[in-house]
Amino acid sequence: MLKLDSHQHFWRFDPVRDAWIGDDMRVIQRDFLPEDLQLELDKQSINGCIAVQSDQSEADNAFLIELASMHPFIKGVVGWVDLQAENIEETLQFYSQYKIMRGYRHVLQGESNRALMLEPAFKRGIGFLKQFGYTYDLLIFRDQLFYASELCSTFPEQSFVLDHIAKPDIRNQAINDWIPGIKALAKNANVYCKVSGMVTEANWTSWKNEDFYPYLDVIFESFGIERLMFGSDWPVCNVAGGYSAATEIVEGYLSQFSEEQRALFWGGNAARFYGID
């Protein structure tokens, strides 16, 4: 069975650039490179990964492309480009020479304009992705789910994937303000979802596997197992338990599914979404 981690990051830590990694996250205030991840993948018998941008710069794209050229287990890169730039088509054309580049994302969760994704310039940029075969990762908070649904319905032929199940407030077991937006987004057949980034939304020191099951029930019911994929969010997950903890949550939940269905979740869906052989 092919197993892929659809969402992880690499960086050489820079305290200014990476200011989002505060002192409460000091455990990840250091470099994280492919040699570090290889140890985790081997422990979990995971064959490869998708490296996702952690800095909104084309320098980060170059960094990830270089790492992938040296480490074949990196099966794809999700980078960043300025989708609102006038020359976005030329930029995407430039990156099309790098087959490892599979898609892009923008840190929409951090934008003061919560509906930035619906601005004409942003949508213009999204409109160019499909001609180059690129996917788009949606990094949003739960208050942006309905905007995301509108965006995805506007581009029904474009492949989108929701990162981190839109970061519900698992820490306080709040769920009702998140469910309607998830259901609305999932109605778009062109949208997948990464079951990732959950441990950092829970109480970092005292969460239990069962804390996540109500959220997983909603995600699996809404998207169906054919549009879900595993992501570790390593090394960010290290602030709340680590790589093995992130995998154990979903391993326990998936016991109710068939072997064929589990194979889709652990690798088949991500391979199809990102175009990995």
**Its pTM surpasses 0.85:** yes
Neighbouring C-alpha atoms within 13 Å toward the C-beta of 83: 26
Residue pLDDT, tens place only, 130-150: 999 999 999 999 999 999 999
165: left (phi over 0), alpha (psi -120 to 50) or beta: left
Q: What is the overall mean pLDDT for the chain? A: 97
Tokens 């923008």, residue located? 106
Domains of the chain: 4-274 (3.20.20.140)
pLDDT value of residue 1: 80
Average pLDDT over residues 160-185: 98
Nearest to 216 by CA among 244, 250, 188, 239: 250
Average pLDDT over residues 32-58: 97
pLDDT value of residue 262: 97
pLDDT value of residue 146: 98
